[in-house]
Amino acid sequence: MPSLKDLKNRIESVKNTRKITKAMQMVAAAKLRRAQESAEASRPYTERFNSVLGSLASSVGESENAPKLLSGTGADQTYLLVVLTAERGLCGGFNSNISKLARQNAQTLLAAGKTVKILTVGKKGRDSLRRDLGDHFIAHVDLSEVKRVGYTDAQSVAKDVLSRFDSSEFDVAILFYSQFENVVSQIPTAQQIIPASYDNNATDEKSTFYEYEPDEGAILANLLPRGVATQIFAALLENGASEQGARMSAMDNATRNAGDMIDKLTIEYNRSRQAVITNELIEIISGAEAL
Q: Give 133-144 pLDDT, tens digit per residue.
A: 989 999 999 888
pLDDT of residue 200: 52
CA distance 217 to 71: 11
Task: Count other C-beta atoms under 10 Å from residue 274's C-beta.
Answer: 10
Q: CATH topology for 38-251?
A: Pyruvate Kinase; Chain: A, domain 1 (3.40.1380)
125-129, 161-165, 202-206, 272-276: least confident range:
202-206
CA distance 65 to 9: 73
Where are the chain's structural domains?
Answer: 4-20+252-290, 38-251
For residues 253 and 221, the model is more confident at: 253
Are 4-20+252-290 and 38-251 in the same CATH fold?
no
pLDDT of residue 202: 45
79-83, 116-120, 271-275: least confident range:
271-275
Q: Taking the model in full, what pTM does it have?
A: 0.84
Superfamily classification of domain 4-20+252-290: ATP synthase, gamma subunit, helix hairpin domain (1.10.287.80)
Assess whether pLDDT exceeds 60 at residue 127.
Answer: yes
Residue 30 appears among annotated catalytic residues: no
Assess whether pLDDT exceeds 60 at residue 68.
Answer: yes
* Dihedral angle over CA of 243, 244, 247, 252, nearest 10: -150
Angle at 40 between CA 210 and CA 122, to 5 degrees: 105
CA distance 230 to 236: 10
pLDDT of residue 99: 93
Q: Which of 32, 39, 80, 91 is catalytic?
A: 91
Of residues 72, 127, 81, the one with CA closest to residue 102: 81
